[in-house]
Amino acid sequence: MPDAGVITITGLTKSFGDNIAVDDLHLEVRRGELFGLVGPDGAGKTTIMRLLAAIMSPDSGEAWIAGSSILHEGERIKEKIGYMSQRFGLYEDLTVMENIIFYADLYEVSKKERPARIERLLGFSNLTPFKGRLAGKLSGGMKQKLGLACALIHTPEVLFLDEPTNGVDPVSRRDFWRILYDLLKEQVTIFVSTAYLDEAERCTRIGLIHKGRLITTDTPAKVRKSIPLSMVEIWAPDARKAAEAAKGMAGVKDVSVYGNRFHVALAEVGLTDRIIEQLKEKGIAVIDHRQVLPSLEDVFIHIVRSSEL
């Protein structure tokens, strides 16, 4: 298998009743990538994760994970991947160590390699002092790190993480991502789903997904530039009212409010001054404004809104 595609997805489709959760997905992820599947809740991220981990069967389409087909070689895939479900999937009534040993047994990690590997996993996840603690008594962040440790016990080629930092505090989130970067150095391919756009920015490549459809795939920087948007950030005492006023103006494609400031997406670069003037004419106070690069969030909101039109 060439390095080109550790994950190759062609035409993957899955629906539940009338609801199409994954719609004709095509994607290729290379070895050593940290690929982020980005989208709002209900976009179909979890379904994609489950299909790729071979714990759910697609309606049509096919995917190969590390050279094995999800349709015909599901059990071989399970030996090569680590999977972390969105909901905490370990045993809360078992201790940290008991959970790790349980998964080491299931993955048949040899007795010889085991001690060193467990020690290393406990070390990088800072769980060593909590070896004897029941998993149910861990904090959210520590639970996720334990989940990661269990998913890594057999040194998988590909790691599937379904919204691993959902509901985790910011410090633990950063910790978690630091661990993922360390893993990348070991040539593990990481396929992570997230609804957080700041996390998406940290991926080597992202796929924006909305209503089961993959809208765009590229590096975060290129995704940002892919949309011909000129973005201006405007500070105003009453940002909400100002944003409301800006919405109807000519050349304004999109407006999103962030507290005391708001972003206006413009069809052309030169429109900024005219917008500010028009706001003043309407008697709306503007404190300051500046040209900004559209954030992923801007792009994403723009894409979602325009796809809904």
Partner 1 sequence: MKLVRIKAIAKKESIQIIRDPYSLAMAFLMPVMLLFIFGYAITLDVDNLPTVIYDRDKSSMSRDLVAQFRESHYFTIVAYADDQADIDKYIDAGKARVAISIPEDFSKNVATGSDAPIQVAVDGSDSNTATIALGYIAAISDQYSRRVGKSLAVPAIDPRVRIWYNPELKSRNFIVPGLIAVIMAIIAALLSSLTISREWERGTMEQLISTPVKPPELIIGKLSAYFVIGFIDVLMAALIGIYLFDVPLKGSPLLLMMFSSLFLFGGLGLGVFISASAKSQLLASQVSLITSYLPALLLSGFMFSIPNMPAPLQLITHIVPARYFVTMLKSVYLKGGTLKLLIFETAALAIYGVITFALANKRFRKRIE
- Contacting residues toward partner 1, per CB under 8 A: 50, 53-57, 74-75, 78-79, 81, 83-85, 87-94, 98, 101-103, 105-108, 147, 150
Neighbours of 207 (CB within 10 A): 25
Q: Which is nearer to partner 1, 44 or 147 (CB)?
A: 147
Q: Which is nearer to partner 1, 81 or 275 (CB)?
A: 81
Neighbours of 21 (CB within 10 A): 22
Residue 308 CB contacts under 8 Å (≥ 6 apart), including other chains: none
What is the smallest separation between the CB atom of 146 and partner 1, expressed in angstroms?
11
Quote the CA–CA distance of 114 and 153 in Å, as a whole number.
9
What is the smallest separation between the CB atom of 112 and partner 1, expressed in angstroms?
14
Neighbours of 2 (CB within 10 A): 8
What is the smallest separation between the CB atom of 239 and partner 1, expressed in angstroms?
41
What is the smallest separation between the CB atom of 57 and partner 1, expressed in angstroms?
6
Residue 169 CB contacts under 8 Å (≥ 6 apart), including other chains: 140, 141
Quote the CA–CA distance of 226 and 293 in Å, as a whole number.
12
Phi first, then psi, for residue 224 (nearest 5°) are: -60, -40
Query: Coil, strand, or helix at residue 209?
Result: strand
Q: Which is nearer to partner 1, 87 or 185 (CB)?
A: 87
Q: Which is nearer to partner 1, 190 or 284 (CB)?
A: 190
Q: What is the largest CA-CA distance in the chain?
A: 77
What is the smallest separation between the CB atom of 110 and partner 1, expressed in angstroms?
10
What is the smallest separation between the CB atom of 9 and partner 1, expressed in angstroms?
18
Q: Which is nearer to partner 1, 138 or 246 (CB)?
A: 138
Q: Which is nearer to partner 1, 87 or 112 (CB)?
A: 87
Span between the terminal Cα atoms of the chain, in Å: 42
How long a stretch of residues is the chain? 309
Q: Which is nearer to partner 1, 89 or 228 (CB)?
A: 89
Query: Coil, strand, or helix at residue 30?
Result: coil
What is the smallest separation between the CB atom of 123 and partner 1, expressed in angstroms?
22
